[in-house]
Structure 1
Amino acid sequence: MSTLIGKEYPFHESNAVVLDMGSGSCKAGYSGAANPSSIVDSVVGYTLKKSLTTGEPKQETWIGRAARMKSNLMLVEFLKDGAIADWEAIENLWRYILYKELEVLPEKHAVLLSDSPYSPITQRETMAEILFEYFNVPAMHVAHRPVLEMYSYGCTTALVVHSGSQITQAVPVHEGYILPHAIEKMDLAGLSLTTYLQKRFQKAAPHLNLIPNYIMDDVKHKCCYIALDFKKELNLYKQNDLIHYKLPDGHVLCLGKERYKCPETLFTPSVFDVPLNGIHYLVASSLKKIPSSIKEEVFKNILLSGGSTMFKGFCERFCKEVQNVVSDTFSPMIYSVPERKDLAWKSGKAAMEIRKKEFQIEWLPYGDLWLKRNALPTETLKKLSEPLAIVDPGASEKLEEFTWIFILHITLVLLSKANFEKKTSFHEVCFSSMISQNNTGVKTHVLHVQISFVSVLMT
């Protein structure tokens, strides 16, 4: 049984739950599994119905694909630019995944969550609050998705090029830490391509009902490809170069030029009047902002990830375009793996299995109480090195739980003040405590804390 600064955690003996929160889908499963056991669309739907007994309005909730398939729902896509925009929807999604999809008792499993490099620090605090208060998880860890994807390639320094559902981005990472000033992104990815196909077929066959996103996603991935030379491909096109896709209702879609024009948007957005540069220009721009001392190492590790890089021909075209736009003394080396659609989840589960001891020090501990950050005195946030007195009436026997909750919140406070461009490391937290009692019988815990770390939640 391993320990975290003196407190034993038996939960590590069971598999952790790994949740990869993507803008298109949420992948979930046990750390001991080879693949995610649940993939749920990142959407929640609500409908109001009258209760049969009281006649009062009653809200029904639908999750994932079921929400997309049902009509007359108010759909909530809760992730916007990597940040969580609707916490009620997130709570409903987590409840559905944990209790119905995975059928687990959250209080018996630690949870690892992936997070976007654009998410604010307050988002991680709210994640912790929901998981600890409402799901009673024993421990949690949050890791940036590009960092997890990088670890899947066995690197600690790299440029991670990710194209998912909503965002395409180039994220440089050095020794496991993101370089925020050098991130480049564009709001054009898989969802934009799906929308293009939907509009194309709606215009060509207005008699058809609007084809749902999940069907059009399947059409896109099974039928489309990236041309090595787009202009040459246009000239070579023949009218009989068609393939057919049968819809569930029996109608048949015929795809010609759409097969390569649709994903071409990633490289040449201007073809479709989108005022953006292609994905290869994101790479060139990001590389220019990287410090010269690490530039050579980053050039040698340009890594592809995300579902929108899975098109046939993508890797060959990407290599060609990057070579054309990158002007430097170093030659870029680009890598891809077949399973790059699920890299963040697989890296998270591997980390829990292989590096359990290293990650164990970064779990957030939780006792019987959850003390919200805004309940701490204001002066505590300013002077962390001074003795802290917090009144905890009649709970002297819970000193141990109180102490760990205190450390959790000090960690969050330190994190909010941390400079993300500086590498920091976990060393130790030393504290001593004293219980005093005034003439009214109110007990007070006084904690003297010496902190020499701030790596928690920084991955």
Structure 2
Amino acid sequence: STFLKDGMVEDWDLFEKVLDYTYSRHVKSEPQLHPVLMSEASWNARTKREKLTEIMFEKYGVPAFFLVKNAVLAAFANGRSTGIVVDSGASQTSAVPVHDGYVLTQAVVKSPLAGDFVTMQCKQFLEEQGIDIIPTYMLAGKEAVKEGEPAKWTKKNSLPEVTKSWHNYMAKEVIQDFQSSVLQVLDSPYDKETVENMPTVHYEFPNGYNQDFGSERFLIPESLFDPSTIKSAPGQTMMGVAQVVTTSVGMCDIDIRPSLYGSVTITGGNTLLQGFTERLNRDLSAK
């Protein structure tokens, strides 16, 4: 489990344990010797900022502490003080306008369509196809099999007892490797006929099962840009990535909109999907 919820610290006890581990195993120095800069979600609540500041000064005794909104850091890292920061991570996709180094909080727009949602769709697809997700820690060995044939693998003897959450984490790693290797975002809206002529991708799972993946590798990530393609969720009420950006810019002063559109910064692990940046660029250019 994570100590974060909606990008903000929810479980303070767990958060402090992570800080203790960081100081003891990685910093390997007394907290009192080093000033600390931390990033925070652009929508972080004032009460949480105060609590975090209190912990850093009262418990760890840091000499100085500074909180910076992560959108500002992303913009500065790209040499920009003004622009719109599109952050698509695990739990959500957000568009945050930054003007002269300050976040325009009234225009922050978020969507739950992000990396975890894509992973969930991949999991559902693999289950529908009857493909078993076997984490690598369970494997003692495997045999080469032909494409589409059942896997031939042997389970490790005397496997240690593991928690359900750790097993799920390892299984999720397999799905995420499939996600990063196979999925691709089309550079234009999904069209079944076009996709059928696109090249397939061959993928082998840790247990040796392998096959080619065709149209589904484009359809799954399409939901990020066109939520109406989602089968099992109320996609009509959700916003695609480009709509999140245009809605955010539309909530800003009309005079600064050109400078925001002229400097779009893309960050977050989910944006590493093949074709993500090109599709967003195309969708924004078309609006």
Distance in 2 (CA, whole Å) between partners of 1:121 and 1:160 is 22
> CA offsets, 1:265-284, max 9 Å, x none?
21011101423121101111
Q: Equivalent residue for 1:88?
A: 13
In the TM superposition, what is the alpha-carbon distance from 1:229 to its structure 2 partner? 2.6
Distance in 1 (CA, whole Å) between partners of 2:265 and 2:62 is 33
In the TM superposition, what is the alpha-carbon distance from 1:262 to its structure 2 partner? 2.1
> CA offsets, 1:341-375, max 9 Å, x none?
xxxxxxxxxxxxxxxxxxxxxxxxxxxxxxxxxxx
Q: Equivalent residue for 1:130?
A: 55
Matched residue SS, 1:172 = strand
> CA offsets, 1:408-429, max 9 Å, x none?
xxxxxxxxxxxxxxxxxxxxxx
Amino acid at match of 1:100: R
Q: Equivalent residue for 2:36?
A: 111
**In the alignment, structure 1 residue 298 sits paired with structure 2 residue 255:** no
Compare the two structures and name the one with the higher helix fraction: 2
Say which of 210, 218, 227 aligns to 1:269.
Answer: 227
Q: Equivalent residue for 2:271?
A: 309
| Count of residues in Structure 1 that have an aligned counterpart in Structure 2 | 249
Contact 2:200–2:212 (CA under 8 A) maintained in structure 1: no
TM-score (norm. length: structure 1): 0.51
> CA offsets, 1:426-445, max 9 Å, x none?
xxxxxxxxxxxxxxxxxxxx
Question: Structure 1 vs Structure 2: percent identity of aligned residues?
Answer: 28
Distance in 1 (CA, whole Å) between partners of 2:181 and 2:2 is 25
Contact 1:270–1:277 (CA under 8 A) maintained in structure 2: no
TM alignment of 1:360-375, pairs within 5 A: none
Q: Equivalent residue for 1:237?
A: 196
Distance in 1 (CA, whole Å) between partners of 2:187 and 2:14 is 41
Q: Any gaps of 5 or more consecutive residues in structure 2?
A: 135-167
Matched residue SS, 2:239 = coil
Q: Any gaps of 5 or more consecutive residues in structure 1?
A: 1-75, 326-459
Compare the two structures and name the one with the higher strand fraction: 1
Distance in 1 (CA, whole Å) between partners of 2:187 and 2:80 is 28
Distance in 2 (CA, whole Å) between partners of 1:312 and 1:107 is 44
Contact 2:190–2:222 (CA under 8 A) maintained in structure 1: no
Q: Equivalent residue for 1:283?
A: 245
Matched residue SS, 2:38 = strand
Distance in 2 (CA, whole Å) between partners of 1:83 and 1:212 is 26
Say which of 257, 262, 276 aligns to 2:215.
Answer: 257
Contact 2:195–2:215 (CA under 8 A) maintained in structure 1: no
**In the alignment, structure 1 residue 226 sits paired with structure 2 residue 226:** no
**In the alignment, structure 1 residue 196 sits paired with structure 2 residue 121:** yes
Q: Equivalent residue for 1:121?
A: 46
Contact 1:112–1:142 (CA under 8 A) maintained in structure 2: yes
In the TM superposition, what is the alpha-carbon distance from 1:233 to its structure 2 partner? 6.0
Say which of 299, 305, 322 aligns to 2:284.
Answer: 322
TM alignment of 1:434-445, pairs within 5 A: none
Which of the two has higher C-alpha Rg?
1
In the TM superposition, what is the alpha-carbon distance from 1:148 to its structure 2 partner? 0.4
Amino acid at match of 1:263: P
Root mean square deviation of aligned Cα: 2.2
> CA offsets, 1:150-187, max 9 Å, x none?
10121111111111111111111111111111111111
* C-alpha distance 207-304 of structure 1, shift in aligned 2 (>3 A): closer
Contact 1:106–1:135 (CA under 8 A) maintained in structure 2: yes
In the TM superposition, what is the alpha-carbon distance from 1:230 to its structure 2 partner? 4.0
TM-score (norm. length: structure 2): 0.79
In the TM superposition, what is the alpha-carbon distance from 1:239 to its structure 2 partner? 10
Q: Equivalent residue for 1:78?
A: 3
Distance in 2 (CA, whole Å) between partners of 1:239 and 1:284 is 30
* C-alpha distance 214-130 of structure 1, shift in aligned 2 (>3 A): farther
Matched residue SS, 1:192 = helix
Distance in 1 (CA, whole Å) between partners of 2:30 and 2:175 is 36
Contact 2:178–2:203 (CA under 8 A) maintained in structure 1: no
Matched residue SS, 2:110 = strand
Amino acid at match of 1:135: Y
Contact 1:227–1:233 (CA under 8 A) maintained in structure 2: no
Contact 1:157–1:175 (CA under 8 A) maintained in structure 2: yes
* C-alpha distance 246-103 of structure 1, shift in aligned 2 (>3 A): farther
Distance in 2 (CA, whole Å) between partners of 1:151 and 1:296 is 19
Distance in 2 (CA, whole Å) between partners of 1:108 and 1:194 is 41
Distance in 2 (CA, whole Å) between partners of 1:308 and 1:140 is 30
Matched residue SS, 1:161 = strand
* C-alpha distance 184-98 of structure 1, shift in aligned 2 (>3 A): same
> CA offsets, 1:368-406, max 9 Å, x none?
xxxxxxxxxxxxxxxxxxxxxxxxxxxxxxxxxxxxxxx
Matched residue SS, 1:188 = coil
